[in-house]
Structure formats: C-alpha cells, structure tokens
Amino acid sequence: MRLGMFFREALRSIRANAAISVAATVTALIAVFILGAFIPSFMYVRSAVDAQTAKVDVDVYIADTATVPQVNALREKLDGLRTDGTVAAVTYVSKDDALRIMKERLRDPSVLDELPSNPLPAKFNVKPTEAENADVIVAAVKDDPALDPTEGIVYPETTADRLLTAAKFVQWAGFILIGILLLAAVLLIGNTIRLSIFARRREVEVMRLVGATNWFIRWPFMIEGVICGLVGAVVAVAMLWGIKVGVVDAWAAGADSALTKTGSAAGTIAFPLLTLVLVGAGALLGAVGSGITLRRFLKV
C-alpha cells in the first residue's frame, strides 16, 4: 500500500537524519509546551475577570416622595431595557427589605433599632447583561422624577471601567501571543524540515528524473513533519501533566478558595480537552511547517 510506503520512508528518513529530526521534535515540544501553559493561564485569567465583571450591577434609588405612578413608570422603563437585552434582571427592594439586609450585614444590628424611622430608600437593583451596559442604564434613568435626590444612581463606575479594560487587554494580548507562538513554531519546524530536504536533495533529484509526481515527493516529508510534531506534543503534554499534578493543582485549589469567598470562582480548560488541542496543534504545526517549506524550497 502506497501510504504504508510513505510512512516507512518517513521513518527511515527520521532514523537517517536523527539530529535534524530531534531538532524538529524539540522545536515542536517547546512550542506546544508554551502553548499548553499559556492557554489554561489565559482562560483562567479571563474567567476571573469575567466573574468580577458579572458582579457589576446598578442600584436605582427611589425617592420617598415618589408617587406610585412614577415608580411604576420607572419600573416599565427598566423592564423595557430588559426586553431589548440591555438588562438581565430587575429586582425591587422595598424600604423594609433594605433595612433587613442592612441588619444582616452589621455585626451589631441593634444600633438600627434606635433610629426613629427607616432612613433607607427603596430601590431597583438592576443587573446588566454586560458590564458595559451599565452606562446605558444610567443614561436611560438619570433624569427620571422618581429618583432619590440624595442617592440617585449608584454603581461601581471606576471598577467597571477597569474590569472592562482588563478584559479587553487579556483578550487581545492572548490572541496576539498565541498567533506569535504558532507563527514562530511553524517557521522553526519548517526550517528543520528544510535541513532534512537539503540533506536528501540528491534523492529528490533522482525521484524527479524517474518521473515521480509532486505529491509522491511531498508525502514522506509531510508525514515526517507530522510525526515530529506529534512526538513533541506528546512529550510536552506529559511534562505539563507532571507540572499540573505536582504544582498547579495545589495552587489552584487555594486560589479558587480565595475567589469563592468573594463569590467569583474562576475556571479554565479541562486537561483532557487541552491534551486533544495540543496533540492536534503539534500534528498541524508539523504538517503546515513541512508544507510551507516544500512549497518554497522544493518547488513542487
């Protein structure tokens, strides 16, 4: 079978050019290892930022003098924002509920019993679908006559802006770094395959003279690149697994515990899925690196 012959030829080439093959494998190993360390780190940071961003909400305080029609009109306005997808949820918190929540948060709630009346205003707690929608909510209700003149609208504007900036930075930095890593790996693997081609240039010339097709010449080199990429990826995954079990799991447990206390547990990619991604990336890097090199230097 021709495919089996291509595999045997690729393995023969790997044995005959052991130093070059090791160089290609080590290149793939380094690239996949860095990629494998970066992907879960990037996803963990992004998950933590998203968890914090999801906590951003807007409190719309209602004046004690607001009439029932004014409060209902404000509610309808907020419900309209929920209909168009700006708002995820709207919760009404009465004056009594606000006082009860305050008592639950105080170490000594009895101090509130000395007050002659309930000083806390009622409010609508508004949860935006996205943190950036907080500004849209504020703009929609800032001039509403039902707003409390003292409290008005309260939301962590500075925190929201910082979280959104951090989320965008993490996203774009991740895409750029992954792109650089993949490009560098393709070029490095391609260069090692080029050395393999150069070492077998006489053999390639002979195959051309006897009428071998372009793909007949290409396949052994392509398979050689894929094998080097796969072996490098498997070794990288084994190293990452050892680091995960020995170091990362203990650290992540402590980090998740700290984040859980703030209601913001973060997550990342499952290792079995990461393994599939990295093994596939190793094979793809080997194939692409070989293909680019063959196209440029074999002219077939």
pLDDT at 299: 62
pLDDT at 261: 46
pLDDT at 260: 46
What whole-number distance in Å separates Cα of residue 37 and Cα of residue 260? Answer: 24
264 has pLDDT over 60 = no
- Cβ contacts of residue 206 below 8 Å, gap of 6+? none
Across 120-140, average pLDDT = 87
pLDDT-derived band at 125 (thresholds 50, 70, 90) equals very high
What whole-number distance in Å separates Cα of residue 241 and Cα of residue 159? Answer: 36
Question: Quick check: 136 and 86 in contact, CB under 8 A?
Answer: yes
- Strands in 87-93's sheet, in edge-to-edge order, are 87-93, 123-128, 58-61, 153-154
Across 51-76, average pLDDT = 87
pLDDT at 297: 64
146: number of CA atoms within 13 Å, CB side?
21
Higher pLDDT, 121 or 53: 121
153 has pLDDT over 60 = yes
64 has pLDDT over 60 = yes
pLDDT-derived band at 288 (thresholds 50, 70, 90) equals confident
Higher pLDDT, 114 or 216: 216
253 has pLDDT over 70 = no
271 has pLDDT over 60 = yes
Is the pTM higher than 0.85? The answer reads no
Across 190-194, average pLDDT = 74
pLDDT-derived band at 262 (thresholds 50, 70, 90) equals very low
3-class secondary structure for 269-284?
A: CCHHHHHHHHHHHHHH
Which stretch of 60-64, 81-85, 274-278 has the lowest confidence by average pLDDT? 81-85
**How many percent of the chain have pLDDT more than 70?**
88
pLDDT-derived band at 254 (thresholds 50, 70, 90) equals low
3 has pLDDT over 50 = yes
What whole-number distance in Å separates Cα of residue 120 and Cα of residue 150? Answer: 11
Question: Quick check: 122 and 62 in contact, CB under 8 A?
Answer: yes
pLDDT at 269: 80
Tell me the pLDDT of the chain averaged across its residues: 80
pLDDT-derived band at 25 (thresholds 50, 70, 90) equals confident
**How many percent of the chain have pLDDT more than 90?**
13
The two tokens of residue 133 are 């929608």
